Amino acid sequence: TKKYDDGLEKSRLTFGQRLNALFANFRSVDEAFFDDVEEMLIEADVGYETAMKIADELRDEVKLRNVKKPEAVSQAIVEKLVDLYGQEGQAEDNQLHFAPQGELTVFLFVGVNGAGKTTSIGKFAHQLEKAGKKVLLAAGDTFRAGAIEQLQEWGRRDNVPVVASAAGSDPASVVYDAVKRAKEEQFDILLVDTAGRLQNNVNLMKELEKVKRIITREVPAAPQEVLLVLDATTGQNALVQAKQFKQTTDVTGIVLTKLDGSAKGGIVLAVRTELHLPVKMVGLGEQMNDLQLFDPNRFVYGLFK
């Protein structure tokens, strides 16, 4: 919990300070005030549509309930943010889906280079292993120089085996080998890394589809999760990327990384309201335990603490 709160320090400063500044000059809830609220939310990367929506709803509510006190207005803003996230679906959407006990679970990690796929897999494998799961990793990013070694390094650190072949080889064949081994040796969970080059989008999307098809052919209920890894520091660009991935791959959830380095925690809401995808995990640093399951209430309230 402490890590969660510390990790959000920068986002909190931005949101919190802006909100305070907003109320420091507070005179009345007039049009200029709502404009300022909108601007604050946009700067925190909540997304344009979401910012407008919140400001509009706030306007109605303030009028309807005749709210005048700044504290009440401030509280209403925070509640709107929490509601907005909650409205978009059930609480269980945010949870990761695993296969029943005794069956193989496969998670596929996708996203552009540098988003944090390999690191997130490494951290997650560590946590699963510590929880007593038998974990296998597949080095499906055969394209980026160093990606295979990087995953193998995590494997050594986590004490988890890695299925890999030479750089440049067919990722589908690596994944096939990994699924086969996972079934034969009764692993609980297989985490699959994939390539994220953007230079050739069409080929990348085809490759991801092929990898996914192979997994499903071997294990019909898998992959249980296709997790799109997004770098929070890239802000609205992350949303554009996500839309591309979502069009061609059945993404089931988002892993939002580098929130520790980002002053823009509002991106979590943008992902939810504009992409209609749940954030399932957040990356709050580079250490083993810095990947955490996402808790919307704690997250939003954490931003304003």
Contact residues for ligand GDP, defined by CB under 6 A: 111, 113-119, 196, 229, 257-258, 260-261, 283-286, 290
Using a 10 angstrom Cβ sphere, with 0-12 exposed, 13-18 middle and 19 or more buried, the burial of residue 198 is exposed
Nearer to ligand GDP, 86 or 261 (CB): 261
Rounded-to-integer distance, Cα 191 and Cα 107, Å: 5
Nearest C-alpha neighbor of 37 from the set 80, 7, 1? 80
Q: Is 258 annotated as a binding residue?
A: yes
Q: Helix 9-24 to helix 31-43 angle, to the nearest 10 degrees? A: 170
Q: How far is the CB of 296 from ligand GDP (least distance, A)?
A: 18
Q: How far apart are CA 25 and CA 28, in angstroms?
A: 9
Q: Do the annotations mark residue 14 as ligand-binding?
A: no
| DSSP for 34-69, written as a single string | HHHHHHHHHHTT--HHHHHHHHHHHHHHHHHHT---
Cα separation, 70 vs 202, in Å, equals: 51
Taking the complex as a whole, how short is the minimal distance between the CB of residue 76 and ligand GDP, in angstroms? 31
CB of 121 or CB of 182, closer to ligand GDP:
121
Cβ-closest residue to ligand GDP?
283
CB of 142 to ligand GDP, least distance (A): 13
Q: Shortest distance, CB of residue 231 to ligand GDP, whole angstroms? A: 7
74 vs 127, beta carbon nearer ligand GDP: 127
Q: Please check if 238 is assigned to a binding site.
A: no
Amino acid at 43: E
| 5 assigned ligand-binding residue | no
Select 40 or 147, whichever has its Cβ closest to ligand GDP: 147
Residue 196, marked binder: yes
Closest alpha carbon to 5 in 271, 231, 279, 265: 265
Residue 114 annotated as binding site: yes
**Residues that constitute the known binding site:** 111-118, 193-197, 257-260
**Residues that constitute the known binding site for GTP:** 111-118, 193-197, 257-260
